[in-house]
Structure 1
Amino acid sequence: MIKKITLALVAFFTLTTHLSHAQSPKAEKLKREVVNSVESNYEALTDLSDRIWSFEEIAFQETQSSAALADYAESLGFTVTRGVAEIPTAFVAEYGSGSPVIGILGEFDALPGLSQNKVPYKSPLNEGAPGHGCGHNLFGVASLGAAAAIKEQIESGELKGTIRFYGTPAEEKFFGKLWMIRAGLFEDVDVVMDWHPGPETKTAVQKGLALVDFQVEFFGQAAHASSDPWNGRSAGDALELYTAGINYYREHVKPTVRIHYHIQTAGEVVNVVPDYSRIWVRVRDSSREGLIPVYERVQAMAEGAAIMANVDFKVNLISGVHEILVNRTGSATLQQNLEKLGPISYTDDEQDFARKIQEATGKPQIGLVSKIEPMEETLENSMGGSTDVGDVSWVVPTIRLSATTAPNGTPWHSWAVVAAGGMSIGHKGMAYAAKALSMTMVDLFTNPELVKSVQAEFKEKKGDYVYKGFVPEGPPPINSKLQ
């Protein structure tokens, strides 16, 4: 009860101080200027986004995408440090000095197998190649556009402090931010801004799911599958027994738990008892605390499968992420800026494109929903996906946004998101995100009390928890066989 009262007082203090600050003529003037900056650079940002869309680069292989963003930042006058945290495609672009230090995250990796033309029906651009099925070609560009708008105000003397853009690779697999955190790159940051492409525009105040990724290898003995199978010890049998165990276990976990697996190899030919098999397993739950016992149980099953098949086994941690520590104080400020901006406007052609995507994916043909919803309540078990932004949010207060870049109801991680993200629907969402993020950063730079209130909520919610990332020892898995 005391904790709830404390949080309520923090929220009330934040609301009253921010409402007073919202009437500041200087802040309102600067917000108009950062919006104008995004609009004046719209063509350059769109071009950059389309280039990254065309590169189609997956986790830790985003060489061209990373270089394009870093080069653009450098051309604007940012100081760019490339190859941070032992990751060749990770970088930091910074401008200014002193406090506050406001960070903003930018992702740019694609997903395997989702290549798609800019048309409202499934049509691979390069059959079997990757595609931006999560809209990350828009993500990094919008964040950098917002950082650039703030940089202009620091350069002119209107704002004081430091703006820092983080080029964060491998969000879809491996979770590059974990190694950036481990390298201490967020230690001096006051607040971080983040956004993600989505089917609607709103403040992002749900926690998502914590997860852990690990790989299980089974090692047996090869033999002829017909003439002397008794001389073989099948790693394939172990893998089948293991997946059977996982699937029986599903009945006995809490509704918030998710378990996925991908069989990577289980033998090469039918007439050889396989001596090697490998499976990639992912366990999720609504909190890291709930995740751990499930993770431990599923690891133990690997030993049981190995015993039954009379083979050896090995469990390798890949990485994992925390659920998001939501900051409602910062989100309330962002919500006010969304309402100030108003919804995105769409042309008849864009709405027609959206309805055709909805028809092709079996969804109601309602087009793009253009409105700003009230800020949601944060649910205890919000379910959904997972992100390494969750880990950042346990290290530094993080304010998050979702902006519309694909039609309502669109299956995410699909060709439909790739199609919309490569044309004007995605471009408009990208520009909108850049405006909303930069406006909120104006509030953070001009109102020290707001920064203190955001940090107070962060400290209250984090409590005594000591962050430790789900990251194995050693360098990032740049050349992992998981690729």
Structure 2
Amino acid sequence: MARSKHIGIDTMTDESRKDILRLLEEIAPKPEKLALDLWKNPELGLEERYAADRYEEILSLEGFQVQRGIGDLDTAISASWGSGSPFIGFLGEYDALPGIAEDGGPGHGCGHNLLGAASLGAAMALKKYMEKLNLSGTVVFYGCPAEENNGGKVYMARDGCFSELDAALTWHPSDVNAVWEAGTLALNACNFVFKGVTSHAAKSPEAGRSALDGAILMDVGVNYLREHMIQEARIHSVITSGGKTPNVVPAEATICYYVRAPRRDQVEPLFERVVNCAKGAALMTDTTFEIDMIDGLYDYLPNPVLNKVASKIMSELGGPKFDAVDREKAAKLQSSLPEKTVKEAFKKYGATADFLGRELSDVYLPGGGPMAKGKTMAGSTDVGDVSHVVPTIQITTCTMPIGTSLHSWQSNESFGSTIGLKGMNFASQVLALTALELLKDESLLKKAKDAFERDTEGEPYESPLIPGARPKIR
């Protein structure tokens, strides 16, 4: 596997591409400053008020029409510029994670401080380019909160926030530069809250109805259910509350379930069987239960037409331009990882250190390793819901040392450094140039839409959320 050569502004043959890259260089200080600002001020999902304020301020000054509070989410943003078609959307995120920083505090272990800023930079560059040439079309930036704990995009999709788009573009921080061509698992996440009757466990046990017994017996039923579900499905559970002391029959107990499968139409019948386990447990224990919906996600639906456009651009650009200082920092962070973990990363990507890079990857990874076409990744993402509303493209870029796990202190450290910023800027380039191709060649959007209709079989998006579900701070 040969390493691709970096192509800079001076060697690009297309003048429009050169213009986009020049614009990105000019505006880069704004997204970089924002990314570092949010890294220093991490906020958990649905609490990203500082981040939303900063995005609203920047977008307003850049001439976008900003709408706050879309999708029943106080910290969600839609910012649009232009008129008419095509409608090109850029997805941004900015929520942090608890307990991620090295000192145990909240932090951006998933790199959402970078994610939103790169999409912002791409949207700003495309807007300036279209404005300069007086081109028709609409650029929309979406600030999407609570990806980690509530699936903010699911609420936004339910309320039709993405329906106007012809294409949605996004990315995610990673340790490689690749196009995300694999699917992800659809998901239902919810709490089953059992209600019983409290009593003294020794003096009057006959008067009590144990909610904890209900939760435990439900889990017994689900454990037997696992034998009779498809191999690719996953069910995870944890009892989050079940009483305070053994001598009091618990009047309330909560067990949380994540139910996953490769497709939405596989999750729904499996989830009904999980609900039936709860019904049986409640009947056996003379208790009742309520379902508190946390999240409902579609599987990610890759679009082959958009993937091909982004793949070509990434192969031409190569990857981020890291320097010796970046590599020294990366080597130090990488040394804190188990040696086996780093070796397994190269194996996972099917590449050697000579090709991929030893500490940091500055090349495009064709095929994407575990993100390759036809594969299903083990996790879930609310980008999946967007991909069932509109043709969607998602890429990854190297923003941390190879072998580093997301949601770790090492990734958080990387995302607040020049390593993260350079990977972020590369993501902006790929997203903006992909959008440019969609503007230049109208047939690409038609082909993308045709592929979308084929893969969804023409079925309209139906929200996986139960009626009346509202996002909650958890």
Aligned pair count?
Answer: 446
Out of 72, 82, 90, the position equivalent to 1:86 is: 72
Deviations, residues 301-346 of structure 1 (Å, cap 9, x unaligned) = 1122222333212223333111112111111111111122112232
Paired residue for 2:350? none
In structure 2, C-alpha distance between the alignment counterparts of 1:70 and 1:437, rounded to whole Å? 21
Cα distance change, pair 131–26 in 1 and its aligned pair in 2 (3 A): closer
Q: Which range is displaced more, 382-391 or 88-97?
A: 382-391
Mapped pair 1:298 → 2:290: no
Paired residue for 2:28? 42
Paired residue for 1:371? 363
Query: How many percent of aligned residue pairs carry the same amino acid?
Result: 36
Paired residue for 2:226? 250
Deviations, residues 244-299 of structure 1 (Å, cap 9, x unaligned) = 33334334332211112232211123432211011221111111122222211111
Cα displacement (A) at 1:442: 0.8
Residues 88-107 of structure 1: pairs in structure 2 closer than 5 A:
88-107=74-93
Paired residue for 2:62? 76
Cα displacement (A) at 1:450: 1.5
Cα distance change, pair 285–271 in 1 and its aligned pair in 2 (3 A): same
Paired residue for 1:15? none
What's the secondary structure of 2:14's corresponding residue?
helix
Cα displacement (A) at 1:205: 0.7
In structure 2, C-alpha distance between the alignment counterparts of 1:277 and 1:476, rounded to whole Å? 22
Cα displacement (A) at 1:381: 4.5
Out of 385, 394, 407, the position equivalent to 2:401 is: 407
Out of 447, 455, 466, the position equivalent to 2:449 is: 455
Q: Is the 8 A contact 1:98 1:160 kept in 2?
A: yes
What's the secondary structure of 2:342's corresponding residue?
coil
Paired residue for 1:287? 263
Mapped pair 1:29 → 2:15: yes
Q: Is the 8 A contact 2:99 2:107 kept in 1?
A: yes
Return the letter of the residue paired with 1:358.
Q
Return the letter of the residue paired with 2:435.
M
Mapped pair 1:109 → 2:85: no
Out of 355, 372, 377, the position equivalent to 1:383 is: 377
What's the secondary structure of 1:154's corresponding residue?
helix
Cα distance change, pair 141–302 in 1 and its aligned pair in 2 (3 A): same
In structure 1, C-alpha distance between the alignment counterparts of 2:391 and 2:259, rounded to whole Å? 26
Cα displacement (A) at 1:27: 8.9
Q: Is the 8 A contact 1:159 1:446 kept in 2?
A: no
In structure 2, C-alpha distance between the alignment counterparts of 1:477 and 1:338, rounded to whole Å? 36
Deviations, residues 120-179 of structure 1 (Å, cap 9, x unaligned) = xxx21xx3x322121111111100000000111122125331111011111112211122
Paired residue for 1:264? 240
Mapped pair 1:317 → 2:293: yes
Cα displacement (A) at 1:404: 1.3
Mapped pair 1:434 → 2:428: yes
What CA RMSD, in Å, does the superposition of the two structures yield over aligned residues? 2.1
Deviations, residues 375-414 of structure 1 (Å, cap 9, x unaligned) = 4585445132111111111111111111111222222222
In structure 2, C-alpha distance between the alignment counterparts of 1:415 and 1:243, rounded to whole Å? 33
Q: Which range is displaced more, 430-439 or 350-359?
A: 350-359
Give the TM-score, by structure 2 length: 0.89
Q: Is the 8 A contact 1:144 1:165 kept in 2?
A: yes
Residues 45-444 of structure 1: pairs in structure 2 closer than 5 A:
45-114=31-100, 116=101, 123-124=102-103, 127=104, 129-157=105-133, 159-362=135-338, 363-364=341-342, 366-375=358-367, 379-444=373-438
Q: Which range is displaced more, 413-422 or 380-389?
A: 380-389
Cα distance change, pair 219–29 in 1 and its aligned pair in 2 (3 A): same
Q: Is the 8 A contact 1:306 1:312 kept in 2?
A: yes
What's the secondary structure of 2:142's corresponding residue?
strand
Cα distance change, pair 304–359 in 1 and its aligned pair in 2 (3 A): farther
Cα distance change, pair 76–27 in 1 and its aligned pair in 2 (3 A): farther
Cα displacement (A) at 1:81: 1.0
Q: Is the 8 A contact 1:27 1:446 kept in 2?
A: no
Deviations, residues 202-221 of structure 1 (Å, cap 9, x unaligned) = 11111111111122011111
Q: Which range is displaced more, 347-356 or 400-409?
A: 347-356
In structure 2, C-alpha distance between the alignment counterparts of 1:310 and 1:361, rounded to whole Å? 50
Deviant stretches of 4+, over 6 Å: none
In structure 1, C-alpha distance between the alignment counterparts of 2:169 and 2:144, rounded to whole Å? 13
Q: Is the 8 A contact 2:319 2:397 kept in 1?
A: no
Cα displacement (A) at 1:423: 0.9
What's the secondary structure of 1:364's corresponding residue?
helix
In structure 2, C-alpha distance between the alignment counterparts of 1:478 and 1:220, rounded to whole Å? 25
Cα displacement (A) at 1:229: 3.0
Give the TM-score, by structure 1 length: 0.87
Q: Is the 8 A contact 2:318 2:362 kept in 1?
A: no
In structure 1, C-alpha distance between the alignment counterparts of 2:472 and 2:291, rounded to whole Å? 19
Cα displacement (A) at 1:454: 1.4
Return the letter of the residue paired with 2:412.
V
Tell me, which stretches of 5 or more residues in structure 1 are unaligned? 1-24, 117-122
Return the letter of the residue paired with 2:221.
G
Paired residue for 1:16? none
Q: Is the 8 A contact 1:160 1:445 kept in 2?
A: no
Q: Is the 8 A contact 2:367 2:373 kept in 1?
A: no
Cα distance change, pair 475–250 in 1 and its aligned pair in 2 (3 A): closer
Q: Which range is displaced more, 209-218 or 406-415?
A: 406-415
In structure 1, C-alpha distance between the alignment counterparts of 2:219 and 2:329, rounded to whole Å? 41
Q: Which range is displaced more, 397-406 or 317-326?
A: 317-326
Return the letter of the residue paired with 2:140.
R
What's the secondary structure of 1:246's corresponding residue?
helix
Q: Is the 8 A contact 1:59 1:173 kept in 2?
A: yes
In structure 2, C-alpha distance between the alignment counterparts of 1:325 and 1:186, rounded to whole Å? 15
Tell me, which stretches of 5 or more residues in structure 2 are unaligned? 1-10, 344-357
